[in-house]
Chain A
Amino acid sequence: MNDDDVSCALDLLARRADHRAVMDRLGAVHRRARRRARVRAAGVATGVTLLVAAAGTLVTLDSGALRGSEPAVVPTLPVPGLRVSVEQVTDPAVATAGLSRYEGTGTRQVVLRVRADGFAPEAEGSSPVAIYVERAGKESSGTPGAPPCEPGAALVPVAFDELVTVVVGGAETQATDEVVVSVTACDPVGAQTRTVTVTVPPGG
C-alpha cells in the first residue's frame, strides 16, 4: 500500500458519505446558529451580571470606608474562583439536544447541565476549566485534572454552560444512579466536585 493507495482508499471511504441522505441540512445549520447565538448571549449576560455585581460590591465597600467622600469604583483584579452547579436536564426538548447520536444498542442516556461561572487562570489552547464525569466504579469521561496553564497565567472570565451526556449500559437496570462531576481549573482555583443522583430513563 503506497501513498497513492492510501489516498485512493481514503477517497473511496469518503464517498461513503454520499450514501447518507441528509434531511434539511440547511435548516439544521440555521437552527444551530441561532442556538449558538442564544448561548453566547446568555454567556455574555452572565459575565455582565457578575461584573455588575462585583462592581456593586466594590461601590458598597468603598462608600462605607470612605463615608463623606465621592463614591468611586476602584479598579481591581477579578477574584479567582468558580461557582459550579450540576443538574439533570428534565426538559425533554433540551435533553434531546444533549443526547449523543449513538452510544450502542440498549443504552440509556442521562443529560446533565454543568455550569461554572467566575474567573480562572487562562489555559494553553483549551478551555480554562476541565470537566470530568464519573459513575462511581463504572465508567468515566472527560478530562481529569486541570488543563495546562503557564505559571502565573492571567485570570479570564468563565461562563461555562454545557450539556454532558452520561451513558448507562444496556445491561444495567437501575432506575437511579450517582454521578460525580468535577470541574477543575488551574491553581489557585483547583477542583470543585458535585455529586448528583440522577434518574435513569427507562429503556426502549
Chain B
Amino acid sequence: MRGGAVEDFDAYVRASGPRLARLAFLLTGDHDTAEDLLQTAYAKVLPRWRQVSAYEDPDAYLRRVMVNTRTSWWRRHRGRESLRSEVPDAGGGADPADGGAALDEVLRALRALPRRQQVAVVLRHYCDLSEAETAAVMGISVGGVKSQASKGVAALRAAAGPRATNEEAAR
C-alpha cells in the first residue's frame, strides 16, 4: 500500500472502509451521518494520498481527519443535533445478538455526551489509543483526556448500569 497512486487509494478505501465505518458510527451515532463522515474524510485525504500513504499508519491520519471533521460539523449544527434523541437500530432493528436494549442505552448515552467526552471515550476505549495519542488527535492536554474520558465513562455507566445489571442477572 505504498506509492500514492489512485489505485492504491482505492484499495485502501476498500480495505479500511469497514473498520473506519465502525469508528464513524461511534463518533456520530447514526448510520447516515457516519457514512457521510467517512466519505468526507476519505475525500479530504485523497488529494494528499501520496503523502498519507507513506505514513506508517494511514488509519491514524484518517482518524484525526474524522474527529476534526466531526468537531466542525458539531460546531455548525450543534443546536439541531442536541435535539435528536432517536437511536438507530433501536428496538426491533437492533441485532439481538449484541444485547440490543442495553446497548441502545449505551448508544443513547454516548450520543448525549458532550463532544469532547464522546471523542475521548471512543478513542480511548474503542480505538484503544493511549492518553498521549488521544491527546494528540484531539489537540488537548493529557490531563484533559483523562478528565474528559473519565466523565464520559461515568455517564455511560450511569446510563447503562441498571439495565445492564438486570440483563446480566437474567443470564
Instruction: State the A residues within 8 Å of B (CB).
Output: 1, 3, 5-7, 9-20, 22, 25-26, 28-30, 32-33, 35-37, 101-103, 126, 131, 139-143, 167
State how many angstroms separate the Cβ of B90 from the closest Cβ of chain A: 11
Interface residues on B, range: 35 or more
Determine the chain B residues whose CB is within 8 A of the CB of A140 once the complex forms. Answer: 79
Determine the chain A residues whose CB is within 8 A of the CB of B80 once the complex forms. Answer: 103, 141, 167
What are the interface flags for B60-96 relative to A under an 8 Å C-beta threshold, 1 for contact and 0 otherwise?
0000000000000001111110000000110000110
Kindly state the separation between the CA atoms of A14 and B157 in the bound complex, as whole angstroms.
18
Kindly state the separation between the CA atoms of A102 and B29 in the bound complex, as whole angstroms.
13
Q: Which of B24, B160, B164 contacts A17 (CB 8 A)?
A: B24
Q: A1 to B164, Cβ gap below 8 A?
A: yes
Kindly state the separation between the CA atoms of A28 and B107 in the bound complex, as whole angstroms.
27
Q: B89 to A14, Cβ gap below 8 A?
A: no
Q: A9 to B160, Cβ gap below 8 A?
A: yes
Q: B47 to A6, Cβ gap below 8 A?
A: no
What are the interface flags for B132-163 relative to A under an 8 Å C-beta threshold, 1 for contact and 0 otherwise?
00000000000000000000010011001100
Q: Specify the main secondary structure of chain A where it touches its partner.
A: helix
Q: A10 to B77, Cβ gap below 8 A?
A: no
Q: Specify the main secondary structure of chain B where it touches its partner.
A: helix
- Ordered by A's residue number, 16 sampled pairs between the chains whose C-beta atoms are within 8 Å are A1-B157, A5-B164, A7-B125, A9-B164, A10-B26, A10-B110, A12-B98, A13-B107, A15-B95, A16-B94, A17-B31, A28-B39, A29-B13, A33-B43, A33-B46, A141-B79
Q: B26 to A14, Cβ gap below 8 A?
A: yes
Kindly state the separation between the CA atoms of A12 and B80 in the bound complex, as whole angstroms.
27
Kindly state the separation between the CA atoms of A22 and B38 in the bound complex, as whole angstroms.
11
Determine the chain B residues whose CB is within 8 A of the CB of A33 once the complex forms. Answer: 42-43, 46-47
The reply on B21 being an interface residue by CB < 8 A is yes
Determine the chain B residues whose CB is within 8 A of the CB of A9 once the complex forms. Answer: 102-103, 106, 156, 160, 164
Instruction: State the B residues within 8 Å of A (CB).
Output: 10, 13-14, 17-18, 21-26, 30-36, 38-40, 42-44, 46-47, 75-80, 88-89, 94-95, 98-99, 102-103, 106-107, 110, 121-122, 125-126, 128, 153, 156-157, 160-161, 164
Q: A22 to B35, Cβ gap below 8 A?
A: yes
Q: B40 to A32, Cβ gap below 8 A?
A: yes
Determine the chain A residues whose CB is within 8 A of the CB of B25 once the complex forms. Answer: 13-14, 16-17
State how many angstroms separate the Cβ of A137 from the closest Cβ of chain B: 15
Chain B residue with minimal CB distance to A35?
B43
Chain B residue with minimal CB distance to A105?
B86
Q: B98 to A7, Cβ gap below 8 A?
A: no
State how many angstroms separate the Cβ of A4 from the closest Cβ of chain B: 9
Q: B46 to A30, Cβ gap below 8 A?
A: yes
Kindly state the separation between the CA atoms of A15 and B106 in the bound complex, as whole angstroms.
14
Determine the chain A residues whose CB is within 8 A of the CB of B126 once the complex forms. Answer: 7, 10-11, 14
Q: A26 to B14, Cβ gap below 8 A?
A: yes
Contact A1/B75 with A13-B103, A29-B13, A167-B80 known, Cβ cut-off 8 Å: no
Determine the chain A residues whose CB is within 8 A of the CB of B36 once the complex forms. Answer: 101
Q: Which of A10, A26, A28, A103 contacts B125 (CB 8 A)?
A: A10
Q: A29 to B95, Cβ gap below 8 A?
A: no
Kindly state the separation between the CA atoms of A118 and B8 in the bound complex, as whole angstroms.
39
Determine the chain B residues whose CB is within 8 A of the CB of A15 once the complex forms. Answer: 22, 95, 98
